[in-house]
């Protein structure tokens, strides 16, 4: 016969898996955010070095503008997932907050499905876009830096954002179950 | 189905999913994508979506945003808001309502290094409201004063809203920044005047503060000097055409870091906090921009902007009457929507109409920022009021909204003045070279 403890363990097992998954994905998002931070410092240093080069030595850093633009992908793309972890993407929530809990939970799930759909398409087609650019051999004008690694990077980060949303989705499904059983 | 019908349905769906809580940038991208699928072809939409996001993320002109956000974050974590408040306190502190006046003056100063309204409100709220409470200020009045003054953050340059507007309508960001200077100072003076009158009528709202020593006076001055150095470097550089906006932001951020290090107010933990803050704000803004770019493409192919421009253009209303309607729409919509999202959604649709009627794009930008400022303190989604509520959790939200009312009147007055005398906004940028 199943003891109470094993029963509890059996019920808690999938939740434990979700918590572990959440922990790993949040950690991955955090590290991507750290890369974005390095990109930000790099961008600042590059622009300042370029200013000094132009104003003091009359020689700008070759390809500074295009490198800043590429660093933009790192600064922004790599920070998107962690911003979602922190729920930092602006949304209007004052209406949903006034809904009855059951209805609000359902709306929450529907909105997460929409968000996930967007990021699935974004991830998939960003990878395809990267492949197309790679095949075409597109490079920047001055430094001849290839575009495609940055598009792959962006696609990967969109994929991680999808995973963050997926965890939120599973958690809100669990929440629906809890609200319903109440 | 006609493209215009699809466009109108798209706008309706977007508003519904906005209000149901899908993040603004996600909603715009999704609706824009589906709309583009329907009006053009699914394969065109599938190639548009990643391309627009990549082009947004890798846009050099948009790299100005992380630079200015970083500058504001460094200024905040290294305690510049507190030092500015101390400086302003020396000037106004002993007057009745003087602490509130000092808070507004300091907010105006902090706005010169921070480009966001809610960040400005949060930074000054944390410094000024506890001081006002200590001297027995009416709590709703004190909180409302800072919530309203936070709006100076996007009017006095740098300003994220001016950057976004400038990129959307392809106007010089430098000129837009400079156009906010005179209206910003005017609004700050009107706010200070409002405090003065309110405290004359009801002295209990804001009793006078204590005296300051000579040592405090001299120390206080340094708070102004560091702000002036950063502001002078950024705006002076832009005004004279020495810096591009991105370079001006980077120069300002570097100056803020150097000042923080020299003052020993920038430990690594604070520096890292500023980086994290910058990344999250930038990612949030850029996802909205990317989404708006996709949505804008959908609007363009559905011919909605042209349809609205022709429809309103044929109405028997004078251009000023149409402008009045546009402003009214912004104020009403601003009560419910975030300002960035509202601008992203409406500018691509309305801007062709505005230029067709012969209005100056720079002047319209200032008007948009003014009405946006009204939106940040009006219920139910007055973001600054919620930010201040976070700073003073014990003050009821209704009291803060009530506290902002006199300042709302001031904002309406200044908006009306800019409408009647456009030179308030357009005079200074006419000298700018960038």
Mean pLDDT across the stretch A125-141? 93
Q: In this structure, what are the phi and psi dihedrals at residue B86, rounded to the nearest 5 degrees?
A: -60, -40
Can you give the pLDDT at residue B44?
95
Q: CB A126 to CB B54 under 8 A? A: yes
Asked if B49 is an interface residue toward chain A (Cβ–Cβ < 8 A), one would say yes
Is pLDDT above 60 for B209?
yes
Is pLDDT above 60 for A6?
no
Can you give the pLDDT at residue A39?
97
Mean pLDDT across the stretch B65-84? 90
Q: Report chain B's mean pLDDT, rounded to a whole number.
A: 90
Can you give the pLDDT at residue B149?
94
pLDDT classification of A12: cutoffs 50, 70, 90: low
* Alpha helices, H only, A58-147: 64-85, 101-136
Q: CB B381 to CB A55 under 8 A? A: no
Can you give the pLDDT at residue A72?
96
User: Any idea which residue has 């302003």 for tokens?
Assistant: B88
Q: Which of B49, B250, B286 sits opposite A48 (nearest CB)?
A: B250
Is pLDDT above 80 for B381?
no
Q: CB A91 to CB B284 under 8 A? A: no
Is pLDDT above 90 for B143?
yes
Peptide bond into B185 cis (omega under 30): no
Q: CB A69 to CB B338 under 8 A? A: no
Q: Are B75 and B263 within 8 A, CB to CB?
A: no
Q: CB A95 to CB B33 under 8 A? A: no
Query: By CA distance, what is A91's nearest residue in B?
Result: B23
The continuous run of DSSP H or E covering A62 comes out as none
Q: How far apart are CA A17 and CA A170, in angstroms?
A: 11
Lowest-confidence pick of A117-126, B112-121, B304-313, B407-416 = B304-313
Cα-Cα-Cα-Cα dihedral sign, residues A85, A164, B382, B361: positive
Can you give the pLDDT at residue B67?
93
Is pLDDT above 60 for A91?
yes
Is pLDDT above 80 for B428?
yes
Interface of B with A in 160-219 (CB under 8 A): none
pLDDT classification of B280: cutoffs 50, 70, 90: very high
Is pLDDT above 90 for B266?
yes
Asked if B33 is an interface residue toward chain A (Cβ–Cβ < 8 A), one would say yes
Q: How far apart are CA B160 and CA B65, in angstroms?
A: 7
Q: How far apart are CA B28 and CA B272, in angstroms?
A: 31
Dihedral over alpha carbons B338, B344, B350, B352 (to 10 degrees): 160
The fraction of chain B above a pLDDT of 70, given in percent, is 100
Question: In this predicted model, what pLDDT tens digit does every residue of B296-350 receive, in sequence order?
Answer: 889 889 988 888 878 887 888 899 999 999 999 888 888 877 788 788 888 988 8
Can you give the pLDDT at residue A5?
56
Can you give the pLDDT at residue B198?
94
pLDDT classification of A8: cutoffs 50, 70, 90: low
Is pLDDT above 70 for B177?
yes
Interface of B with A in 266-305 (CB under 8 A): 272, 275-276, 278-284, 286-288
Mean pLDDT across the stretch A105-124? 96
3-class secondary structure per residue, chain B: CCHHHHHHHHHHHHHHHHHCCCCHHHHHHHHHHHHHHHHCCHHHHHHHHHHHHHHHHCCCHHHHHHHHHHHHHHHHHCCHHHHHHHHHHHHHCCCCCHHHHHHHHHHHHHHCCCCCHHHHHHHHHHHHHHHHHHCCCCHHHHHHHHHHHCCHHHHCCCCHHHHHHHHHHCCCHHHHHHHCHHHHHHHHHHHHHHHHHHHHHCHHHCCCCCCCCHHHHHHHHHHHHHHHHHHHHHHHHHHCCCCCHHHHHHHHHHHHHHHHHHCCCCCHHHHHHHHHHHHHHHHHHHHHHHHHHHHHHHHHHHCHHHHHHHHHHHCCCCHHHHHHHHHHHHHHHHHHCCHHHHHHHHHHHHHHHHHHCCCCHHHHHHHHHHHHHHHCCCCCCCHHHHHHHHHCCCCCHHHHHHHHHHHHHHHHHHHHHHHHCCHHHHCHHHHCCC
Asked if B337 is an interface residue toward chain A (Cβ–Cβ < 8 A), one would say yes
Q: CB A82 to CB B18 under 8 A? A: no
Asked if B36 is an interface residue toward chain A (Cβ–Cβ < 8 A), one would say no
Query: By CA distance, what is A154's nearest residue in B?
Result: B54
Q: CB A40 to CB B284 under 8 A? A: no
Can you give the pLDDT at residue A1?
43
How many pairs of residues across A and B have Cβ atoms under 8 Å apart? Answer: 170
Mean pLDDT across the stretch B261-268? 93
Q: Which of B24, B251, B254 sits opposite A91 (nearest CB)?
A: B24
Query: By CA distance, what is A111's nearest residue in B?
Result: B22
Site from A29, A34, A79, A81 to mutate, B interface, most B CB atoms within 10 angstroms: A79
Is pLDDT above 60 for A13?
no
* Max avg pLDDT among A10-14, A29-33, B71-75: A29-33
Can you give the pLDDT at residue B80?
87
Mean pLDDT across the stretch B260-267? 93
Q: Tell the burial category of B15 from Cβ atoms under 10 Å away from its Cβ (0-12, 13-18, 19+).
A: middle
Q: Which of A76, A86, A128 sits opposite B282 (nearest CB)?
A: A76
Classify residue A146 by its DSSP letter. B
Q: Which of A44, A122, A128 sits opposite B70 (nearest CB)?
A: A44
Structure tokens at B309: 């421009």
Asked if B73 is an interface residue toward chain A (Cβ–Cβ < 8 A), one would say no
Q: CB A37 to CB B275 under 8 A? A: yes
Q: CB B275 to CB A128 under 8 A? A: no
Site from A48, A84, A92, A104 to mutate, B interface, most B CB atoms within 10 angstroms: A92
Lowest-confidence pick of A11-15, B112-116, B153-157, B280-284 = A11-15
Compute the nearest-CA separation of A20 from chain B (Å).
Answer: 24
Asked if B426 is an interface residue toward chain A (Cβ–Cβ < 8 A), one would say no
Q: CB B280 to CB A44 under 8 A? A: no
Is pLDDT above 90 for B383?
no
Contacts of B150 by beta carbon, 8 Å cutoff, 6+ apart: B107, B117, B118, B120, B121, B122, B124, B125, B376, B384, B387, B388
Question: In this predicted model, what pLDDT tens digit does every residue of A54-82 receive, in sequence order?
Answer: 988 888 899 999 999 999 999 999 999 99
Neighboring chain B residues of A126 at a CB cutoff of 8 Å? 50, 53-54
């Amino acid at each position: 016969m199943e003891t109470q403890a094993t029963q509890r363990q059996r019920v808690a097992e999938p939740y434990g898996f979700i918590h572990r998954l959440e922990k790993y994905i949040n950690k991955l998002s955090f590290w991507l955010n750290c890369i974005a931070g390095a990109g930000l410092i790099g961008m600042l240093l590059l622009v300042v070095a370029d200013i000094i080069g132009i104003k003091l030595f009359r020689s700008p850093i070759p390809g500074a503008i295009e490198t800043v633009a590429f660093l933009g992908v790192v600064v922004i793309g790599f920070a998107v997932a962690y911003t979602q972890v922190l729920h930092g993407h602006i949304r209007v929530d004052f209406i949903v907050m006034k809904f009855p809990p059951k209805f609000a939970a359902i709306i929450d799930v529907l909105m997460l499905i929409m968000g996930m759909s967007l990021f699935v398409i974004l991830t998939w087609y960003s990878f395809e876009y990267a492949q197309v650019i790679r095949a075409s051999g597109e490079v920047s004008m001055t430094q001849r830096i290839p575009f495609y690694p940055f598009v792959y990077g962006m696609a990967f980060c969109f994929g991680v954002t999808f995973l963050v949303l997926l965890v939120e989705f599973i958690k809100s499904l669990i929440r629906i179950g809890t609200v319903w059983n109440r | 189905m006609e493209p215009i019908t699809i466009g109108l349905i798209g706008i309706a769906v977007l508003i519904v999913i906005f209000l149901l809580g899908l993040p603004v940038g996600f909603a715009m991208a999704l609706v824009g994508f589906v709309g583009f699928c329907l009006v053009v072809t699914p394969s065109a939409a599938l190639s548009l979506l990643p391309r627009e996001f990549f082009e947004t993320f890798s846009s050099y002109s948009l790299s100005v945003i992380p630079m200015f956000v970083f500058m504001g974050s460094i200024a905040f974590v290294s305690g510049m808001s507190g030092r500015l408040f101390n400086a302003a306190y020396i000037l106004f502190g002993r007057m009745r309502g003087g602490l509130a006046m000092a808070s507004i003056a300091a907010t105006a100063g902090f706005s010169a290094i921070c480009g966001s309204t809610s960040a400005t409100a949060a930074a000054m709220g944390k410094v000024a409201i506890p001081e006002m409470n200590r001297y027995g200020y009416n709590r709703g009045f004190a909180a409302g004063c800072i919530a309203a003054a936070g709006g100076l953050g996007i009017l006095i340059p740098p300003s994220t809203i001016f950057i976004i507007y400038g990129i959307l309508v392809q106007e010089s960001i430098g000129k837009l920044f400079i156009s906010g200077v005179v209206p910003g100072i005017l609004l700050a003076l009107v706010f200070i005047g409002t405090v003065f009158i309110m405290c004359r009528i009801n002295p209990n709202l804001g009793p006078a503060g204590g005296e300051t020593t000579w040592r405090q006076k001299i120390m206080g001055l340094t708070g102004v000097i560091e702000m002036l150095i950063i502001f002078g470097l950024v705006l002076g550089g832009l005004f004279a055409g020495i810096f591009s906006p991105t370079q001006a932001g980077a120069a300002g951020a570097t100056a803020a870091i150097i000042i923080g290090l020299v003052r020993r107010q920038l430990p690594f933990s604070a520096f890292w906090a500023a980086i994290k803050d910058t990344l999250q704000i930038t990612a949030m803004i850029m996802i909205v921009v990317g989404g708006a770019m996709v949505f804008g493409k959908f609007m363009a192919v559905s011919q909605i902007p042209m349809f609205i421009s022709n429809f309103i253009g044929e109405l028997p209303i004078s251009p000023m009457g149409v402008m009045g309607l546009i402003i009214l729409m912004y104020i009403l919509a601003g009560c419910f929507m975030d300002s960035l999202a509202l601008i992203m959604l409406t500018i691509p649709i309305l801007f062709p109409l505005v230029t067709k009627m012969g209005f100056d794009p720079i002047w319209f930008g200032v008007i948009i920022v003014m009405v946006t400022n009204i939106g940040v303190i009006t219920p139910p989604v007055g973001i600054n009021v919620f930010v201040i509520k976070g700073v003073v959790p014990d003050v009821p939200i209704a009291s803060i909204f009530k506290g902002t009312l006199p300042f709302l009147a001031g904002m309406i007055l200044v908006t009306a003045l800019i409408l009647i005398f456009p030179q308030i906004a357009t005079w200074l940028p006419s000298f700018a070279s960038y």
